[in-house]
Structure 1
Amino acid sequence: MSKPRLLPTGNCWCGCGKEVGLGKFFAQGHDKTAESALIALNYEGSVPHFLHAHGYGPQHSVTGDAVDKAGWQECVCGYRGAPDSIRRHQKKSGHSGLAE
């Protein structure tokens, strides 16, 4: 099933009413506010409940799936993140390679 193409509207998608720049969905930091509000509304404010509801937890790694299915990468030290996050991590930590 394909996902709908979402278009920025010029207003923050968290619902605060703030105007945002061209091509943006959120005012700075408001993506995390919206994420937290949704978790509060649907998962008792609990990230573990949120993960469990989607089949993740100690027995099934959400970050492992992100590496396998969503273009995330894993540093040689085991840190996992989006490519930009990996680059920042490696620059800060001095690590130079990706896990195989």
Structure 2
Amino acid sequence: MPRDERERLIPTGTCWCGCGREVGLGKFFASGHDKTAEAAYMAVHHEASVARLLADTGYGPGSTETIRNAALNRGGWELCPRDCGYAGAPASITNHIRKHHQKEA
């Protein structure tokens, strides 16, 4: 299902990692618990391995599309405008430019 057609997620006031902790207004997770939930999901579904995740979802070796290209085409990622090959989310691009290209300006 395309990203814009999925149902909107609504915070419930309880941490979504399963710990039962109450969380603030508009939050899905207690601090750091998003990573706990991510690690638990990876353990359950992909042997706690990013390589297994990529292979299981069709982005492993020999696939027709890399996960990097999928992120660039459909995931909101961008290439660094300085043509260095770096790719990432817009905020990551900003940080990358500040750290690695500040002397070029």
TM superposition score category, shorter chain reference: 0.7 to 0.9
Structure 1: segments with no counterpart, 5+ residues? none
Partner of 2:67 in structure 1?
Answer: 62
The structure 1 residue matched to 2:25, chosen from 18, 22, 27, is 22
Specify the code of the residue in structure 2 equivalent to 1:19: E
Q: Is the 8 A contact 1:40 1:46 kept in 2?
A: yes
Q: 1:95 to 1:57 in 2, by over 3 A?
A: farther
Higher helix proportion (structure 1 or 2): 2
- Could you tell me the TM-score, scaled by structure 1's length? 0.83
The C-alpha deviation readout for 1:50-81, integer Å capped at 9, x for no partner, is: 11111112443112111111211111222221
Specify the code of the residue in structure 2 equivalent to 1:86: I
- Cα deviation, residue 9, structure 1: 0.9
Structure 2: segments with no counterpart, 5+ residues? none
The structure 1 residue matched to 2:43, chosen from 32, 36, 40, is 40
Specify the code of the residue in structure 1 equivalent to 2:99: K
Specify the code of the residue in structure 2 equivalent to 1:78: G
Partner of 1:49 in structure 2?
Answer: 52
Specify the code of the residue in structure 1 equivalent to 2:78: Q
- Could you tell me the TM-score, scaled by structure 2's length? 0.79
Q: Which has the higher contact order (CA 8 A, sep 6+)?
A: 1
SS at match of 1:21: coil
CA RMSD in angstroms comes to 1.8
Percent identical residues: 54
Q: 1:78 to 1:28 in 2, by over 3 A?
A: farther
The C-alpha deviation readout for 1:14-65, integer Å capped at 9, x for no partner, is: 1112222221111222112111111101111111111111111244311211
SS at match of 2:16: coil
- Cα deviation, residue 7, structure 1: 0.2
